[in-house]
């Protein structure tokens, strides 16, 4: 490996212009790809296969309207007055214009929504009043019906009595008429016989008188019959009237009976409606003081698929609303700033790195060479990543992590080679020979260190989490580019700079060496005269001090809570933060992170079944602790899916909100028993829980893999059992201390004013995994440059104790400089615009600080001092099996060294 890298260095120096041109073309191609393809970065995290994501996937198929992405905007009166009709009209017009944007499916006008809810409340209130009055009204109607029936019965009795009298009178009159008619006939016959017989006049007169009397009786009977006929007609008219009254009374009675039988069902429907309204009572679109209004925009696709251009178009559309005293702020989902990959903080980090390089190297040319190499590598990798994001869904943190690592290791790797090259030049070696040897020796260490970091990053794929594996892959690619640039571009630039990488004083000293006027003193011989390093001189004290400090730093780690950043973590002056705070003040913090509950059925819901099911589910969900409101949406087109918006009492990142999600899911069995539906829960808090649980389950495997790999690699490099174990234990202490420090700052709020933590919250759920991967690689770098020097001194005859001092002194300067540079670069990202990147930058900077200065320069030397020769023990059978990697290129060094002096790593 060392020989191959030496030849690569020779080629790069000999064909320096070719190497620079090739790298320039690669950079231009990366620029062209980034500009031409126009990559797209996402501000959201998704994880396939989790319960929350499965609900979203289900909704995309069965209920597309419910799966569409949404984001909130907040309209606020700054003058302390209520919204006027003119302002409401202007907001309505602006929202209508926004709904016409391509990719927008609709908007929610808060004033229209609040008015509709108020109307619904009024309607239900009126319905309740009507139902409450219904029993009394029905009783009054029943009394009227009963009175009518009594009157009809009395009339019918009177009619029956009259009819009886008429019938009896008619019978008597008819009989009398018949009798009188018979008498009349008999008298008329007798009178005729008397006249014919010449009866006496007195007899005839007597017969006439009787006849007249009978005729008078018949007249009276006929008059009676006429009077009875008139009475019968009156009775018939009365019966007709009575029948009409009975006909009117029957429908009224039937209507009343129907109303009475329908009353329980109406009461039940009203109670279901009141249950739905009660669940949504605390949900408002316009604040009680009418000074804050919460609107929303709905997209045609899930939020993770909404393009930044669409979001920006929405922001620009509503930002054009020009109303004095009215502000418009946008939620984190809509206005999340992807930030700039390299901002003022990162530039400051580069400046600090340049200052450190200048102090260490003594010349501007030498100080600028590692920075130039790192910028070249970062430019290629960052631009290529941005172009690649066109075809691969990529989180905005992905390229930033690549830039962060690329800058740090790019400077360090180039520095390692340059530092070796400078030492060799000062010893009198020619420029070309020095370039080849530096590339073969320190370049071998750079290559191994880079491969170690890459393996640690690529191992993120073992977590089974897509976005995390992608972050590792992109970062590993950035490391590969940084290593390649260090091994090719650095030698090419060193060829052009020649001896100018040395200061004038160093060049004069070199001339004296070449002229034989100064001795070529062996570094190993020189270090024997120096004092023993403190860690080797006071190993127990060093161990107690370092382990104690690291354990104290680890304490906050025990209370670490993982989550996702919400609007409260954004910069105070940002629109996302203002939207979060205004929403919290006007409606409660829970309105910033509503939870979606979806219930699916194997039947279509309609009528009372739909209303009852909605009320039952809403009541059950409302019964969960820390739920502020439950809003019921329209059912799916096939009536088989119901969606509910659950508003927690606290924000999406709060512990209570996570508990709400867990409790909601626990109600699945109850809802299934009551309604026959299957409950699913999604939303920001649900996604947070699912991702955190997935990461937590994958972390032990990842950590075990990293530690196993660490021990294996170090056994190969150091040919020791104890050294890898000590180094791995030190790595664990570094990681836990780093996570403790991150928890103290970003969750507890310590030093919040320094690092811009105004609202402490949970730690980004994927941060521990990322920190473990990156810090492992960097820790192995420092372990390599310190422990290999110790091992080389021990192998070359130094005692175990003396080798520690010699090795530490040989690598200490470059490790300290490299660590300071990394701390500066990583630390600059702790002040980045993105709330996701800030804790990552701080964690990496702190991790490098404790690992380089406490673990590698104190703990490891102290532990090796206590172990003595046992530190380098390796079973013979294992020694024979292991290949000799010669990471530091010692064989190449010995082959090219002169008898007059010795070069070491």
900 pLDDT exceeds 60?
no
Q: Report whether 738 contacts 772 (CB < 8 A).
A: no
Q: Is the pLDDT of residue 342 over 60?
A: no
In this prediction, residues 435-458 reach a mean pLDDT of 86
Q: How confident is the model at residue 780 (pLDDT cuts 50, 70, 90)?
A: confident
Q: Which two tokens stand for residue 130?
A: 């009507």
Token pair listed for 595: 């939870």
Strand partners, 159: none
State both tokens at 747. 């969750």
State which H helix or E strand residue 41 sits in. Answer: strand 41-42
pLDDT-derived band at 886 (thresholds 50, 70, 90) equals low
Model pLDDT, residue 862: 96
Residue 711: phi and psi, rounded to 5, are -65, -40
pLDDT of residue 524: 40
- 672 within 8 A of 678, measured Cβ to Cβ: yes
What was the pLDDT predicted at 3? Answer: 83
Q: Is the pLDDT of residue 835 over 50?
A: yes
Question: Binning pLDDT at 50, 70 and 90, where does residue 851 land?
Answer: very high
pLDDT digits (tens, 9 = 90+) for 360-414: 888 899 999 999 999 999 899 888 888 887 777 777 777 888 888 888 888 889 9
Whether pTM exceeds 0.75: yes
Identify which of 781, 783, 776, 788 has the alpha carbon closest to the alpha carbon of residue 718.
Answer: 788
CB atoms within 10 A of CB 563: 24
Share of the chain above pLDDT 90, in %: 37
Asked if pLDDT for residue 585 goes beyond 90, the answer is yes
21 compared with 517, residue with greater pLDDT: 21
| Helix spans in 667-766 (H) | 668-675, 684-718, 722-746, 752-755
Helix 16-37 and helix 364-388: axis angle, to 10°? 40
pLDDT at 461: 87
pLDDT of 69-99, one tens digit each? 888 999 999 999 999 999 999 999 999 999 9
* C-alpha dist (Å) from residue 796 to 290, 444, 860, 890: 82, 20, 20, 11
Q: Per-residue confidence at 427, pLDDT binned at 50, 70, 90? A: confident
pLDDT at 338: 47
Mean pLDDT of all residues in 869-882 = 89
Residue 825 has pLDDT above 80, yes or no: yes
> And the tokens for 652?
């999406």
3-state SS assignment for residue 158: helix
Q: Are 453 and 31 in contact (CB under 8 A)?
A: no
Structure tokens at 542: 């060093």
Q: pLDDT band at residue 41, thresholds of 50, 70 and 90?
A: low
pLDDT grade for 860, boundaries at 50, 70 and 90: very high
CA distance 586 to 577: 14
pLDDT digits (tens, 9 = 90+) for 406-422: 888 888 899 989 988 99
Instruction: Report how far residue 584's alpha carbon sits from residue 204's, in angstroms, rounded to the nearest whole number.
Output: 128
What pLDDT is recorded for position 597? 94
Report the pLDDT value the prediction gives residue 455, as an integer from 0 to 100: 86
Query: What mean pLDDT comes out for the span 279-297?
Result: 93
In angstroms, the Cα distances linking 163 to 152, 153, 168, 837 are 16, 15, 9, 105
Q: Of 12-21, 259-268, 445-454, which gets the smallest average pLDDT?
A: 259-268
CA-wise closest residue to 161 among 88, 229, 98, 239: 239
Per-residue model confidence (pLDDT) at position 46:
63
Q: Which two tokens stand for residue 654?
A: 């709060």
Distances (CA, A) of 506 to 396, 516, 789, 814: 46, 15, 24, 18
pLDDT of residue 23: 95
Average pLDDT, the chain: 86
Q: Does the pLDDT of residue 328 top 50, yes or no?
A: yes
* pLDDT tens profile 693-749: 888 888 888 888 888 887 888 888 888 999 999 999 999 999 999 999 999 999 999
Question: Which residues are within 8 A (CB) of 17 and not within 5 positions of it... i.e. 6 or more apart?
Answer: 492
Q: Give the span between the Cα atoms of 794 and 803, in whole angstroms.
A: 5
pLDDT tens sequence across 204-258? 888 888 888 888 888 888 888 888 888 888 888 988 888 888 788 788 778 878 7
10-24, 114-128, 852-866: the lowest-pLDDT one: 114-128
Over range 431-438, report the average pLDDT.
Answer: 90
Task: Tell the burial category of 633 from Cβ atoms under 10 Å away from its Cβ (0-12, 13-18, 19+).
Answer: middle
Q: Of the candidates 297, 376, 323, which has an alpha carbon nearest to the alpha carbon of residue 71?
A: 297
- Confidence at 336, pLDDT banded by 50, 70, 90: low
pLDDT band at residue 764 using 50, 70 and 90 as cut-offs: confident
Mean pLDDT score, 871-884? 87
- The runs of H, that is alpha helices, within 362-396 are 364-388
Between 244 and 519, where is the model more confident?
244
Distance in angstroms (rounded) separating the CA atoms of residues 379 and 481? 10
What is the rounded end-to-end Cα distance, in angstroms, of the chain?
16
- When mean pLDDT is compared across 180-194, 280-294, 880-894, the lowest value belongs to 880-894
Residue 420 bridge partners (DSSP):
none
Q: Please check whether residue 844 is in contact with residue 821, taking contact to mean a CB–CB distance below 8 angstroms.
A: no
Q: Give mean pLDDT, residues 682-698.
A: 82
More confident residue, 441 or 901: 441
Determine the pLDDT at residue 373: 93
User: Residue 655: phi, psi to the nearest 5?
Assistant: -60, -40
């Amino acid at each position: 490996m060392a020989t191959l890298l030496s030849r690569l260095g020779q080629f790069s120096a000999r064909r320096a212009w070719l190497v620079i041109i090739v790298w320039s073309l690669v950079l231009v191609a990366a620029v062209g790809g980034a500009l031409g393809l126009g990559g797209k970065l996402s501000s959201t995290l998704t994880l396939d296969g989790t319960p929350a994501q499965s609900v979203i996937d289900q909704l995309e198929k069965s209920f597309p309207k419910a799966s569409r992405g949404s984001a909130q905007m907040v309209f606020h009166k700054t003058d302390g007055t209520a919204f006027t009709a003119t302002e409401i009209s202007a907001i309505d017009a602006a929202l209508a214009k926004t709904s016409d944007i391509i990719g927008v499916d609709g908007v929610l006008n808060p004033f229209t929504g609040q008015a509709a809810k108020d109307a619904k409340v009024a309607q239900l209130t009126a319905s309740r009043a009507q139902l409450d009055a219904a029993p009394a009204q029905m009783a009054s109607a029943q009394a009227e019906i009963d009175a009518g029936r009594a009157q009809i019965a009395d009339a019918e009795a009177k009619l029956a009595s009259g009819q009886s009298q008429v019938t009896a009178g008619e019978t008597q009159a008819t009989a009398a008429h018949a009798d009188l008619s018979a008498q009349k006939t008999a008298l008329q016959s007798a009178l005729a016989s008397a006249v014919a017989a010449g009866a006496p006049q007195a007899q005839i007169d007597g017969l006439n008188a009787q006849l007249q009397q009978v005729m008078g009786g018949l007249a009276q009977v006929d008059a009676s019959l006429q009077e009875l006929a008139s009475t019968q007609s009156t009775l018939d008219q009365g019966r007709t009237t009575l029948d009409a009254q009975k006909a009117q009374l029957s429908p009224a009675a039937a209507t009343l009976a129907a109303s009475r039988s329908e009353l329980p069902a109406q009461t039940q429907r009203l109670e279901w409606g009141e249950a739905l309204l009660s669940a949504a009572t605390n949900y408002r679109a316009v604040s009680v003081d009418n000074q804050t209004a919460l609107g929303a925009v709905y997209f045609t696709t899930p939020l993770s698929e909404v393009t930044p251009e669409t979001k920006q178009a929405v922001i620009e559309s509503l930002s054009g609303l020009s109303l004095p005293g009215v502000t418009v702020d946008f939620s984190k989902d809509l206005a999340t700033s992807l930030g700039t990959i390299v901002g003022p903080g990162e530039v400051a980090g580069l400046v600090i790195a340049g200052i450190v390089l200048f102090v260490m190297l003594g010349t501007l040319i030498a100080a600028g060479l590692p920075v130039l190499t790192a910028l070249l590598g970062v430019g290629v990798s960052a631009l290529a990543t941005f172009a690649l994001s066109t075809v691969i869904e990529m989180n905005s943190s992905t390229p930033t992590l690549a830039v962060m690592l690329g800058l740090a290791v790019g400077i360090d790797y180039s520095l390692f080679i340059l530092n070796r090259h400078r030492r060799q030049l000062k010893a009198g070696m020619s420029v070309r020979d020095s370039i080849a040897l530096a590339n073969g020796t320190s370049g071998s260490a750079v290559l191994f260190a880079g491969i170690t970091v890459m393996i640690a990053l690529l191992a993120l794929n073992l977590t089974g989490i897509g976005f995390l594996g992608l972050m590792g892959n992109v970062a590993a690619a950035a490391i590969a580019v940084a290593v390649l640039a260090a091994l090719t571009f650095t030698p090419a630039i060193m060829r052009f700079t020649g001896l100018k990488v040395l200061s004038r004083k160093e060049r004069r000293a070199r001339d004296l060496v070449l002229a034989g006027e100064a001795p070529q003193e062996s570094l190993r011989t020189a270090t024997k005269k120096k004092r023993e390093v403190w860690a080797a001189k006071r190993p127990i004290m060093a161990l107690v001090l370092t382990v104690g400090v690291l354990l104290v730093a680890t304490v906050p780690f025990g209370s670490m809570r993982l989550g996702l950043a919400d609007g409260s973590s954004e910069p105070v002056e940002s629109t996302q933060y203002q939207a979060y705070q205004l929403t919290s003040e006007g409606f409660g913090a829970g309105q910033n992170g509503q939870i979606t509950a979806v219930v699916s059925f194997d039947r279509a819901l309609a009528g009372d079944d739909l209303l009852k099911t909605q009320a039952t589910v809403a009541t059950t969900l409302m019964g969960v602790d820390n739920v502020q409101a439950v809003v019921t949406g329209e059912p799916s087109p096939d009536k088989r899916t119901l969606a509910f918006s659950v508003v927690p009492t606290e924000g999406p990142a709060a512990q209570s909100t996570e508990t709400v999600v867990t409790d909601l899911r626990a109600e699945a069995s109850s809802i299934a028993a009551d309604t026959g539906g299957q409950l699913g829960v999604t939303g920001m808090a649900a996604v947070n829980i699912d991702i955190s649980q997935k990461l937590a389950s994958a972390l032990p495997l990842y950590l075990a893999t990293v530690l196993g790999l660490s021990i294996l690699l170090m056994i190969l490099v150091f040919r020791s059992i104890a050294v890898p174990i000590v180094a791995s234990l030190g790595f664990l202490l570094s990681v836990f201390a780093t996570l403790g420090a991150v928890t103290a700052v970003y969750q507890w709020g310590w030093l919040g004013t320094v690092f811009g933590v105004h609202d402490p919250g949970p730690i980004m759920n994927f941060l521990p995994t990322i920190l473990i991967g990156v810090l492992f690689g960097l820790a192995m770098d420092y372990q390599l440059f310190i422990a290999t020097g110790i091992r080389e001194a021990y192998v070359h005859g130094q005692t175990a104790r003396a080798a520690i001092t010699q090795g530490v002194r040989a690598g200490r300067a470059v490790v300290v400089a490299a660590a300071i540079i990394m701390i500066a670069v990583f630390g600059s990202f702790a002040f980045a615009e993105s709330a996701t990147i800030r804790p990552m930058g701080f964690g990496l900077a702190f991790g490098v600080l404790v690992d380089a200065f406490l673990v590698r320069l104190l703990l490891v030397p102290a532990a090796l001092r206590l172990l003595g020769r046992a530190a380098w023990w390796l079973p013979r059978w294992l020694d024979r099996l292991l290949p000799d990697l010669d990471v530091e290129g010692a064989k190449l060094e010995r082959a090219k060294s002169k008898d007059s002096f010795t070069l070491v790593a």
